[in-house]
Amino acid sequence: MILVVGLSHRTAPVDVRERLAAGADTLATVLARLARRTELSEFMFLSTCNRVEVIALAADQSAGDALRAIREELALHGGLSHDAELAPYLYETRDDDAVRHVFRVAASLDSMVLGEPQILGQVKQAYDAAVAAGVLKGTLARCVSRAFAVAKRVRTETAIGVGSVSIASVAVDLAAHMFGDLSDHAVLLLGAGEMAEAAARSLGRGARALRICNRSFERAAALAGQMHASAVPWDGLDSELAHADVVVASTASQTPVVTREMVKRAMKARKGRTLLFVDIAVPRNVEPAVHAIDNVYVYNVDDLEQEVARGMKAREKELEAAEKIVAAEVAEFLAWSRGLEVQPTLVAMRAKARAVLFAELEKSLSGRLKHLGEGDRAALQQMLESAVNKWLHTPTTKLKSRAADGDAETLAATVRFLFDLQEVSAAREADRVRAESDGRSAPTAGDEDERLH
């Protein structure tokens, strides 16, 4: 059973989301802790500015225990004493709804900015990290990798990504609203993240100057070379705040890098000139108290949601078409996964039929038919194989058909009872079917992307 437990910009404010965020330096630790939970057979951990989710496959279909385990681990990761503290912010989905949720997230239908492309790359990174850690390799891996194909279809078959609605465009609109023409103003980029870089590229085109400040000066210099900007050392941040008019903050720091005292000193040197912060980092890079300083404005990712909503109407017209694609893909995936549920029964039924018939054939070939040559013996064996296939064709197709409708378990149980079948484990059979169909282990996100193109 596939499960999703998490929180997002729709359910939790940024001060809650930032407590649960996991960067590249902590992701391995989170995955290792989840790996110790026997209630989960597969999982991945997705952490972005706007959501933190555990997507998992429950061990032995024990959904209740798996959900509890995930809640406990999320609370532990967030430094909370009890998972009840997270309860008001969490959402939980399972089965069909969980698959639909995964597909919609990858296709950017649940993003703050509908149709934004960054989320697909973030899901792929989370997927690759889980595969590398050995915690994503079966049915759930198939589900997530299928989500990449869904996202591809949505991007190519609808116009949901058309237009300028993005965090970068919102930053430009905010700066234009506050300063008008940026030709006499300077932009400072803190960090070298993808979203901050996009915002700085948009702002830098019309600004008098663009400067990049990063803990790694070499990375700042490399990015500055691409953007025709200037790189400045991290220890020069105080003086940079005195000269910048727009600051786009997106570092991976777990604590604020811009404090109230730093900005108060900068504003004194600026003689009160307006200073705009666009803080798109989670955890936040700018102390919330900075916003209370006169002529200083701080917009974080939650504040940007209202600005983003103004440009969403055109994309929302494409939402219905995108949702139809998701619905069709969900139905196809569920038919496949439910087919796996009855596969052990089908394998056991076929094995028992062959065992009975071929045992009788061996008796005859050792007795009354022992005079037959190799050609005749092979013909009899082929005849029995054909008979098994024809005899089991109807029950096989009916079971698979009922599986696609989600109503096969009762019928499968009846077949097992009537024929006294001993099944191989569902997990073992699922692995066998996947190995035969895929010809290899779980793909990396890069492999899936190659197939999509």
Q: Which positions are annotated as active-site residues?
A: 49
Q: What span, in angstroms and rounded, lies between the C-alpha atoms of 220 and 332? A: 46
As given in the structure block, the two tokens for residue 105 are 């997230």
User: What are 300's strand-pairing partners?
Assistant: 279
In which element (H, E) is residue 121 found?
A: helix 118-132
Task: Report which residue type is found at 216.
Answer: S
Opening angle at CA 451, ends 445 and 453, nearest 5: 105
First to last CA, the chain: 30
246: part of which helix (H) or strand (E)? strand 246-249
Both structure tokens of 233: 């050392």
Q: How far is CA 200 from the centre of its chain?
A: 26
Q: How far apart are alpha carbons 290 and 296 in whole angstroms?
A: 7
Burial zone of 358 (CB within 10 Å; 0-12 exposed, 13-18 middle, 19+ buried)? middle
DSSP SS3 for 138: coil
Question: b/e per residue, 233-260, with b = 16+ CB within 10 A?
Answer: eeeebeebbbebbbbbbbbebeebbbeb
DSSP per residue over 35-72, as a string? HT-TTEEEEEEEE-SSEEEEEEEEGGG-HHHHHHHHHH
Beta bridge partners of 55: 4, 44
List Cα–Cα distances, 326 to 9, 102, 107, in angstroms. 22, 10, 9
- Residues 186 and 177: their CA atoms lie apart, in Å, by 15
Report the relative pairing of strands 2-8 and 91-94 from DSSP bridges. Answer: antiparallel
In whole angstroms, what is the distance from residue 260 CA to residue 253 CA? 17
CA 398, 401, 405, 410 torsion: positive or negative? positive
Q: How far apart are CA 24 and CA 446, in angstroms?
A: 18
Provide the H-helix boundaries in 107-251: 118-132, 139-157, 167-179, 194-204, 217-227, 237-243
CB 259 within 8 A of CB 290: yes
